[in-house]
Structure 1
Amino acid sequence: MDEPLHVIEVNGSKIFFNLLLYALLAFASSLAICLEDSAAFQSTALKTSQFLHGMGYTQFPWTFVVALQRRLMEMGLWPSSYKEPKSAATVQLLRNFQITNLHCQTPSTEFYEVLEFISDGTGLQKLPEREAQWMTMLRQYRNIKTAKRCGRGHDTKGIKGTSYGEAAVPCRACPHLERNLPAGWDKVSADDQFLYALYLCKDANFGQKARARPNDDRDPSLSPGWGCFVLNDLYMAEVSKRATQEEISHCVGFKAISTANTKKTKGLCATGISAVSCARHETFRPNGIGDLQVGERYINMDFLALFMLIGCGLSLVFFSYDIACQWVVNFRSRMAQFPEHMHLPNSLKLIFKVPKFYLIAHARKCLAKFSFNYTEGAAKTDGEGIEWNWSWLNACSRSLSMMKAGARWDMLDDFTNFWNWRKTINLETSLVKKLVKAIPEAVVNAHAFTAFTDALQDDHTKDLLIWQDQVVQWEQGLSNFCPYDMREETLTLAQVKKELTEEEHQQEVTGMNTSISTLSGLVIEGLEIEELQYVLLVR
């Protein structure tokens, strides 16, 4: 039978009774172990056994001997304990919940309540309490499925041999050494380096707060550092060395946001999370997520960026960060304070930019220097990819915030891997759409640029050469002068008065101005009236 735990209702003496299917007898006997098998399998006698499945609860009223772990799992049941299980859940139920949880962000507690309601919709029957066992089985199932998907069963080292980030679903479209890079990629000219560059964006998410729970330190992760969440022990060992470090200073436009994010931190073990994702394909990076203790600090951001880039091996990496203008300052000197294996090679070129949406809120000095629009090989990158990730991940923040530490980290790994998998299977469609849109736009813009340049050749030949040289010098870092930086000249009221007075004086000398009311007088009087109106409105 496909569903041996289903029940049927029969009418007897005007009362409906729930009876197990007759196939259940065969199912129970298949769980029985002969005496000669008792040495091969650890076993125990169960007087009453509860099973969770798609139709709710089922209870065995018989006494029989069952094999722990192996025999139960062969029958499609997941035991609640490795010692003497008195309850189990069908593997199909665990799978259905995981899919529902990832797609709909349904909390496990609410799903458990649904099972209780299916078992007894009236609430009159007292059902056995198995929520704690349900939570345990869910964590074990997620962990085993993660290990299975990353091929740990084919490795002689087993699960214990899982390396950092190995269980994370990688971005197939990003450059990876010895995977998708052509021969000689590292010998291309400087103009073509962007073709094999890694585009990353990072951000802090203060919607992913975590409450401090009792005995958090006694709830370890079952997959420490395997996926997108960094190994917390290693991470906190470095963070604790700079526990008194202040937050990263912000540009003028971000001061209010920074203040709001650091409020209401009482009772929290994490004020949010920081993550690094692929800027163009919006997938979370392996070991690129970590908890934030107080706002955004250099130690948190530096560690995640450096640890995630271990073994990168590329020549060019773009970093998009909403406060990159502050983070980039002394980045290399701060890197020297970390362990040597986290140091980036000098051959790796790092380019720091600000996402396009956030850039307008920055100080004027940042607008051209940190703009993607003026960056060769990245002008069409918006740097906002991680915001799409947050909009989806924050839907489960309510349930995640109430979990203990280890369970929360494992759940975040599961959610981020699911997000990466969805992005992976949609790459074919998304990349084709972008390519179809990019080709005609490239042709149109190339023709427009060529026509505009040809039109300037006649009257501004020397200026064109100067401009081109300025751009090349700035892009190569040989000059601090940014040709795209538009300098705004501030005109004060005193300067206006002076210019108008000089102009009228010149007219008086030449005999042109004979009116009693001068132009400067009218302008100054109008400005004074405007100022008085503003003062009255403020009061």
Structure 2
Amino acid sequence: MLANELLRLEGSSLLGAPCSYCTEEPGLFRCLECHPERLSCKTCVLASHAALPFHRVEKWENKHFTALPLVDIEAVYHLSHDNTRCPHWKAPDPPAPPTYTPNPDAPADDRPKKRPRRPQTSAADGHIVRIAHTNGFHHVRIGYCRCPNAPDHATQLLRARIFPGTLSKPRTAYTIALLSYFLTSTWESNLTAYDYAKILCRLTHSYCPEDIKSGYDNFRVVLRVWRDLQFRMRCGAFFDIPARLPPPYTNTMAVLCPGCPHPGINYDPAVKHRKIHCDTLTLAGDGNFRAVQKDKISDPADVHLRPGAAYFREDKAYHEYLASVGDEHEVSHLQPSTCTGLKAGDVLREGRYKNTKVSGVFSVICARHGFFRPDATVDLQKGERYSHTDYALAGALAGTQSIRRIVFIYDINCQYIRHVHERFKERFPHLTHIEFIEWLIPKMHLVGHKEDCQYLYSLNFTPGSGRVDGEQTERNWCDLNGAATSTREMNSAHRHEVMEDKQNEMNFKKMINLRTLCNIQRLAILLTQISCLCQRRPFKGRWVLL
């Protein structure tokens, strides 16, 4: 039964019947997007698709349906005047066909072998633009508005929700629906631009996709611009919202954690809460060695569209810092480990990162809610060094001097803090509150440390820590590593932009889901209250009502 019905879809039961709309001409056309079972004539197809240029139309000929682009039946997509022809669009009269009188006395080589092609008539006037939509590529004849005050062609395309491939005389464009769909697919399934371009070719011609030009070079440039525009729109940069934030968040485009204290935004140093955890900023840092970058020839013209305005620290200043620190800064403090064999921070492991320009990334996040901190992600060179951690932590600590209590969770804190005060005093003298930070180790990593560390750096034995495990960085790497297979091949600036876009989306999703998380926690407290009442034992905590 299923096979019979699928085979039935290849034809139509209305073949030979008149048009389903006007009933005057035979119905030979069908639209796979509108009503595949209804057949119509050419006139009705053009009338019903005046504002639907991206539909797939088929024509019945030679006892089967064949794909027929709308441009081949002289369809014009007018961008103004309610999808009708602009009054100022006056097509010139077609020139008369050239006449040819053969001269019998002329040599055979001087005689034209073919008659000149007749020029296109006025009915086919317009600009043909190759537009990519979610169902493939389309050649669409665009009818621009030609009024005296009409905007340029690129602006008219944008107002029709079509993103031009170029701002001057666009001949390639992409629908906003396609760009939005690709960006969502990248966030959720790490779809690459190259793979999606091949998908569009297959959707355009399922049998010979290799004959379709994907336009990948222009597509990835447009995607990069589109990604940056969406990034700026989400943070309100076009309304100068980041400029109104207090330092150090001025002009930042990152999504801030709404549950952590931010001086000048949701935290007042003059107001002290009764419970210390309400005035605590809990940070966690960790290195990710999957997010590498291959050592290859990069494009010298590649520039970052928002340097230092999101999650990665400004690249030029960071490399100047690394040059000033040098390897001797690491070796001077290289002493035998006082704990069991810890791999992080071991400069002797740099041999495993051959043929890589960047061996990974180091990020500082909010340990309670898992938000990436703005200006707190750096690239790693030759493994995970203390200098990398220092620079990322310094970015995360900017503007936190007035916070009452700060906790930093790191898997090798027992070794990292041995000279951290001296390093910060030398490199970041403005961060004087480094001396008051509490240093702890994540719960899962703490098991691999010696017994003394398991008491000194335990979250379980630290007041105000709650049930924080400090392993949120590992969960973030699980989501971020999906894009590592594509970012490792990119240039440095493009790689930072893609990874920042992924980090920003992860922060945004966490912010949206905080409400659900709070409701779940309130429900758990309510169930605990009910259990205590049933067992006639006191409840130690704050009573809440849902």
Alignment TM-score, normalising by the size of structure 1: 0.72
From 294, 297, 319, give the equivalent of 1:214.
297
Q: Is the 8 A contact 1:164 1:225 kept in 2?
A: no
Corresponding position of 2:8: none
Corresponding position of 1:78: 163
Unpaired runs of at least 5, structure 2: 1-49, 90-124, 541-546
Corresponding position of 1:7: 56
Cα distance in 2 for partners of 1:383, 1:438 equals: 23
Corresponding position of 2:138: 58
Cα distance in 2 for partners of 1:195, 1:17 equals: 65
Are 2:76 and 1:25 equivalent residues in the alignment? Answer: yes
Name the amino acid aligned to 2:204: S
Q: Tell me the secondary structure at the aligned position of residue 357 of structure 2.
A: strand
**Larger % of helix: which?**
1
Corresponding position of 1:203: 286
Deviations, residues 454-484 of structure 1 (Å, cap 9, x unaligned): xxxxxxxxxxxxxxxxxxxxxxxxxxxxxxx
From 167, 171, 191, give the equivalent of 2:257.
171
Cα distance in 2 for partners of 1:18, 1:403 equals: 39
Is the alpha carbon distance of 1:93 and 1:23 closer, same or farther for their aligned partners in structure 2, counting shifts above 3 Å? farther
Deviations, residues 409-431 of structure 1 (Å, cap 9, x unaligned): 11111111111111111112223
Cα distance in 2 for partners of 1:63, 1:239 equals: 56
Cα distance in 1 for partners of 2:444, 2:384 equals: 19
Tell me: higher relative CO, structure 1 or 2? Use CA pairs within 8 A at least 6 residues apart: 1
Q: Is the 8 A contact 2:76 2:140 kept in 1?
A: no
Cα distance in 1 for partners of 2:330, 2:287 equals: 16
Corresponding position of 1:284: 372
Corresponding position of 1:151: 236
Query: How far has the Cα of 1:99 moved from its partner?
Result: 0.5
Are 2:344 and 1:264 equivalent residues in the alignment? Answer: no
Query: How far has the Cα of 1:261 moved from its partner?
Result: 6.0
Cα distance in 2 for partners of 1:384, 1:124 equals: 46
Are 2:376 and 1:325 equivalent residues in the alignment? Answer: no
Unpaired runs of at least 5, structure 1: 37-44, 451-539
Cα distance in 2 for partners of 1:226, 1:205 equals: 21
Query: How far has the Cα of 1:379 moved from its partner?
Result: 5.1
What is the 5 A alignment of 1:93-112?
Answer: 93-112=178-197
Name the amino acid aligned to 1:167: M
Query: How far has the Cα of 1:86 moved from its partner?
Result: 2.2
Deviations, residues 280-325 of structure 1 (Å, cap 9, x unaligned): 1111111121110111112110111111221123121100000011
Query: How far has the Cα of 1:275 moved from its partner?
Result: 0.5
- How many positions carry a matched residue from both structures? 432
Cα distance in 2 for partners of 1:261, 1:387 equals: 21
Q: Identify the range of structure 1 (57-66 vs 278-287) with the bigger mean alpha-carbon deviation.
A: 57-66
Deviations, residues 164-201 of structure 1 (Å, cap 9, x unaligned): 67211111111122333368424x57xx3332100111
Cα distance in 2 for partners of 1:143, 1:301 equals: 28
Cα distance in 2 for partners of 1:156, 1:429 equals: 27
Q: Tell me the secondary structure at the aligned position of residue 437 of structure 2.
A: strand
Cα distance in 1 for partners of 2:202, 2:406 equals: 53
Deviations, residues 378-417 of structure 1 (Å, cap 9, x unaligned): 1532111111111111122111111111111111111111
Name the amino acid aligned to 1:55: N
Is the alpha carbon distance of 1:212 and 1:125 closer, same or farther for their aligned partners in structure 2, counting shifts above 3 Å? closer
Q: Is the 8 A contact 1:165 1:286 kept in 2?
A: no
From 305, 311, 315, give the equivalent of 2:404.
315
Query: How far has the Cα of 1:29 moved from its partner?
Result: 7.3
Is the alpha carbon distance of 1:125 and 1:373 closer, same or farther for their aligned partners in structure 2, counting shifts above 3 Å? closer
Query: How far has the Cα of 1:214 moved from its partner?
Result: 1.8
Is the alpha carbon distance of 1:124 and 1:97 closer, same or farther for their aligned partners in structure 2, counting shifts above 3 Å? closer
Q: Tell me the secondary structure at the aligned position of residue 50 of structure 1.
A: strand
Corresponding position of 2:487: 400
Alignment TM-score, normalising by the size of structure 2: 0.71
Q: Is the 8 A contact 2:242 2:250 kept in 1?
A: no
Cα distance in 1 for partners of 2:452, 2:325 equals: 30
Is the alpha carbon distance of 1:256 and 1:80 closer, same or farther for their aligned partners in structure 2, counting shifts above 3 Å? closer
Name the amino acid aligned to 2:314: L
Corresponding position of 2:107: none
**Cα RMSD between the aligned structures?**
3.6
Corresponding position of 2:431: 344
Cα distance in 2 for partners of 1:256, 1:302 equals: 14
Q: Is the 8 A contact 1:206 1:261 kept in 2?
A: no
Q: Is the 8 A contact 2:346 2:385 kept in 1?
A: no
Name the amino acid aligned to 2:257: C
Corresponding position of 1:246: 330
Q: Is the 8 A contact 1:165 1:228 kept in 2?
A: no
Is the alpha carbon distance of 1:74 and 1:62 closer, same or farther for their aligned partners in structure 2, counting shifts above 3 Å? closer
Cα distance in 1 for partners of 2:206, 2:53 equals: 22
Deviations, residues 365-387 of structure 1 (Å, cap 9, x unaligned): 31211111111111532111111
